[in-house]
Structure 1
Amino acid sequence: SVVLVESIPEGMTFDDGSVPNPSTFSTWMNLLGTVTHSLDIASFYWTMTNEDTRTHEPSAAQGEQILEELLQLSQRGITVRIAVSLPSAKSPLNDLQALEQSGAMVRTVDMPQLTGGVLHTKFWLVDDTHLYIGSANMDWRSLTQVKELGAAVYNCSCLAKDLGKIFEVYWALGVPGASIPVPWPANYSTTFNMETPLELKLNDTDAAVYFSSSPPLLCATGRTQDLGALLNVIDAAEDFVDIAVMSYLPTTEFSHPQRFWPAIDNRLRKAVFERRVKVRLLVGCWRHSKMTMFPFLKSLAAVADNRTRYSVEVRLFMVPASAAQAQIPYARVNHNKYMVTEKTAYIGTSNWSGDYFVRTAGSALVVNQTVSQTGAGTATGTAAGTSTIREQLRAVFERDWSSQYSANIGDAE
């Protein structure tokens, strides 16, 4: 089964009467409760405690509890492996050192050396059977102070083992002096991809599923590159494309010099212009947003003109903050990285700018679910009371889009 998982920052409420999705915290606790022999975590950095962020926040308790649970696993004979991006000079190492002392194996992946990027992936693999993938970092703020979205898949060893091959890529690159093999040995290759997804029933509904990966250098034979997957989802859309991302830039952000990188932007404009697809883009707006982002967003929104009947809308999503919450560093933002069309749900770990697809390691879960609609408007093939993951993702998008926290790009200054 597959479940949509969210972190809604403390103090945020939605008045549309929607049923909340399970929290990231409850999902991680759930996974920790089910683990019997192995846990693999792919992560960007670790700040699970107040000490790590030099804060005194009661809301860090959930992160601290997750870390406590993780520290006990090795003593129970569970194999814990953590792949983490090479820490920068200023990143705290307390959590990783504590995990190593507890018996966990930690490998740092020197992505700056290997590809010029970082390891930005965020996923958990439990017993080669269950998994979490999404926007949430190993950070207490990702549980209580940052808006996150991910997916948990339970009891699906086919998918878990395939995501495990992506983990093994990171693990292999985490040894000192590692270099990227060309090509990757056969044991890293997959048969599940854009062309031949894994066909299975998810929540009693037919689905075709695969994992994409970036950057291209880390893709073994058969693995769909993340950018290719994302563009394919846009290209296949005939009705609508709804996107929620923290940042959206048709440029690189971290290269010197910065480069123009219109791959995604061009595809959206093409979908709007050639196929009359309705595009909605919900972008995070916070104090760390790049100023160059806003003119590019306005440019995309400008394609929709009263005279053209093209449909593009861009809104900014702002997470409110009390005076105390505003003091928490790097918090109070919509950190989502997903897209939903009338056919597909795409749940990723990358922000939408060039570096994330060209140099930085990320991954995404792509679920195709084209359920035929019956005359009564109910989806056929769906168990009563459950909707497809694609429909659930659309509902989350609609809730956020029409909420008090979002504003049209034209009105936002």
Structure 2
Amino acid sequence: MLKLNQPQKLKRLCRLGFFSLFSMLIAQMSHAQFESEGMELVVNTPVETQLPNDDLRSAAPVWEEMFSSAKKTIDIAQFYVYNQPNSSLDRVLNGLYDAGKRGVKIRFLLDQKGVGISNPATIEQIKAIPNLELRIMDFSKIENGIIHAKYFIVDDKHAFVGSQNFDWRALAHIHETGLAIHQPKIVQQIGHIFNIDWHNQAQLAQQQPIDTFSQHQTLLKPKDGTYLLSSPAQVTPSETYVTEDAFPKLMATAASEINIQVMQYVPLSFTETKGKREFYPLIDDSLRAAAARGVKVNLMVADWNVKEPDLSWLKSLALVPNIHIKIVTIPKSKQGFIPFARVVHSKYMTIDHHTAWVGTSNWSGGYFDHSRNLEVVMNDERMAKRLDMLYAQLWTSPYAQDIDIQKQYIKVNPTKE
């Protein structure tokens, strides 16, 4: 913490901008973990980068702890799985094995499209876990999307939601943000969503009608409490807010500043239909409307975003007054090139240093509208300010550079150098 008996230091801090102040505060924190209102902030930063967060735990020890505490059930939903021997994920999977061996019932739901990018050996490793049932769900048959949410529930009492995939690279070479959740209502809602998808997987496999929902919570009070958002609407239960409905209402509450960190932003669908990507204006409209009424919008995206036509849309947004965009490049590891790694994958936002958003969606078409994703919104000033500090750390780092409207960027290929 700051020592108020250091006048010269305080005077220097007062001359610094908001982001620089928070960056210096990070270095002075030394707690074991950061938790507020039943939510623990969990962050992974790529090894060999200068991004210390001594008060934040990373995902692997949190996952191991949660699995080791399980007494009855563990439910897991993932887009894909990819382990490597002797990695942090390997230790997590060993912990899952131990849980199954002691009698914990484990249900593991994997997306059909995700199987294609999964490591076959990892799938076999999961299948070998005692007391575990693995199901593969073709989510494209529901909304032409994917199970993109990364989450699990332990004993119906604790949950984890975040950008971290079940991938050894996510735990060592990618910038990720998630939440260990201990709030009963939110855990219950997440559990209900898992049960819906688990049931619908069986229905799809048997070519039977799936459970869908036409009525949802609509009386959203954006500045009240903590609440869960889910997509897509068709398979979001009635007690949970739909992301597409809530997002513009939430953004409309911003009065001074919005900080956003996502891997990808583009107002187009992530998949092509008949060779074309559909226009998806929801997010773009909300950002431009906020900037138009004087809100300062700061947006950080990964260097994977510098491909066309995505880059042109990003440059267009950067021309709007009050919108400031930076592109983040994580240097190559000393181990050499690692495919699908060394990137910013976090998906979080703060509004007016009071409201925090931590989720699983990229910010483009296909995520809020067609794919299974979860977002947690917390009207918790303490959590929002800690996320602002995390944001400031990367924003002021040498890894983040202002977007150059005139620059001809070279497309990043995540599969090879």
**Short-chain TM bin:** 0.7 to 0.9
Distance 2:209 2:335 in 1: 45
Separation (CA, whole Å) in 2 of partners of 1:110 and 1:290: 28
Once the two structures are TM-superposed, the CA of residue 339 in structure 1 deviates from its matched residue by: 1.0
Note the alpha carbon deviations across 1:345-384, whole angstroms, 9 max, x for none: 1111010111112211111111113x5xxxxxxxxxxxxx
Residue 291 (str. 1) matches residue 308 (str. 2): yes
2:151 touches 2:160 (CA, 8 Å); kept in 1?
yes
Alpha-carbon distance, 1:195 to partner: 2.1
Q: In 2, Cα distance between the equivalents of 1:164 and 1:403?
A: 38
1:131 is paired with a residue whose SS is strand
Deviation at 1:259, TM superposition (A): 1.2
1:45 aligned partner, one-letter code: Y
CA distance in 1, matches of 2:53, 2:102: 40
CA 1:409–1:91 in structure 2 vs 1: closer, same or farther (change >3 Å)?
same
Q: State the secondary structure of the residue aligned to 1:232.
A: helix
- The 1:23–1:90 alpha-carbon spacing in structure 2 relative to 1, beyond 3 Å, is closer
Q: Is the 8 A contact 1:114 1:179 kept in 2?
A: no
Aligned residue number for residue 159 of structure 1? 186
For residue 33 of structure 1, what is the aligned residue in structure 2?
Answer: 68
Code of the aligned partner of 1:258: R
Choose from 178, 190, 213 the match for 1:183.
Answer: 213
| Correspondence 1:332-371 to 2 at 5 A | 332-342=342-352, 343-369=354-380
Give the residue type in structure 1 aligned to 2:99. L
Pairing partner for 1:136 from 164, 168, 172: 164
Tell me if the contact between 1:285 and 1:318 (Cα under 8 Å) persists in the aligned partners.
yes
Q: Which amino acid aligns with 2:349?
A: M
User: 1:250 is paired with a residue of what secondary structure?
Assistant: strand
Residues 100/341 of structure 1: CA separation in 2 closer, same or farther (3 Å cut): same
After TM superposition, give the deviation of residue 20 of structure 1 in Å. Answer: 4.6
Query: How far is 1:262 from its partner?
Result: 1.5
The one-letter code of the counterpart of 1:42 is: A
- The 8 Å contact of residues 215 and 358 in structure 1, kept in 2 or not, is answered as yes
Aligned-pair CA distance for 1:41: 1.0
Residue in 2 that maps onto 1:253: 270
- Which residue in 2 is equivalent to 1:308? none
Q: Secondary structure at the match of 1:113?
A: helix
| 1:147 aligned counterpart, secondary structure | strand
- Alignment length (residue pairs): 362
| Structure 1 residues 79-118: aligned runs within 5 Å | 79-86=105-112, 87-89=114-116, 91-102=118-129, 103-118=131-146
Q: Distance in 1 between matches of 2:209 and 2:383?
A: 38
Alpha-carbon spacing, 1:171–1:18, altered in 2? closer, same or farther (3 Å):
closer
Q: Report the CA distance between 1:322 and its aligned residue.
A: 3.2
Deviation string, structure 1 residues 184-215 (Cα, Å, up to 9, x no partner): 7xxxx987x76268x9xxxxxxx711111111
1:389 and 2:383 correspond: yes
- Partners of 1:194 and 1:151 lie apart in 2 by 25
3-state secondary structure, aligned to 1:395: helix
How many Å separate the matches in 2 of 1:406 and 1:141? 21
Distance 1:84 1:12 in 2: 31
1:13 aligns with 2:41: no
Contact preservation (8 Å) 1:282, 1:314: yes
RMSD (Å) for aligned C-alpha atoms: 2.2
1:179 to 1:330, Cα distance in 2 relative to 1, 3 A: farther
Alpha-carbon distance change, 190 to 38 in structure 1, aligned in 2, over 3 angstroms = farther
Contact persistence 1:180–1:217 (CA under 8 A): no
1:315 matched to 2:326: yes
Out of 220, 226, 244, the residue aligned to residue 195 of structure 1 is 220
- Structure 2 residue runs of 5 or longer lacking an equivalent are 1-37, 410-417
Q: Contact 2:213–2:235 (CA<8 Å) still a contact in 1?
A: no
Q: Which residue of 1 aligns with 2:393?
A: 399
Q: Distance in 2 between matches of 1:230 and 1:32?
A: 32
Partners of 1:190 and 1:113 in 2: CA distance: 22
Structure 2 CA distance for aligned equivalents of residues 119 and 83 of structure 1:
9
Q: Which amino acid letter does the alignment assign opposite residue 246 of structure 2?
A: A
CA shift for structure 1 position 35: 1.4
Alpha carbons 1:233, 1:344 under 8 Å: kept = no
- Paired residues of 1:124 and 1:133 also in contact (CA < 8 A): yes
d(CA) in 1 for partners of 2:361, 2:259: 16
Alignment partner, residue 93 of structure 2: 67
Q: Map of 1:253-292 to 2, 5 A cutoff?
A: 253-256=270-273, 257-273=276-292, 275-286=293-304, 289-292=306-309
How far off its partner does 1:97 sit? 3.1
Aligned-residue identity in percent: 28
C-alpha distance in structure 1 between counterparts of 2:250 and 2:213, whole Å: 27
Partner residue in 1 for 2:243: 226
Give, in whole Å, the separation in 1 of the partners of 2:383 and 2:43.
Answer: 13
* Residue number in structure 2 paired with 1:375: none
- Cα deviation, 1:304-355, whole Å, max 9, x if unaligned, reads 2xxxxxx110001111113534x21100000011111123111110101111
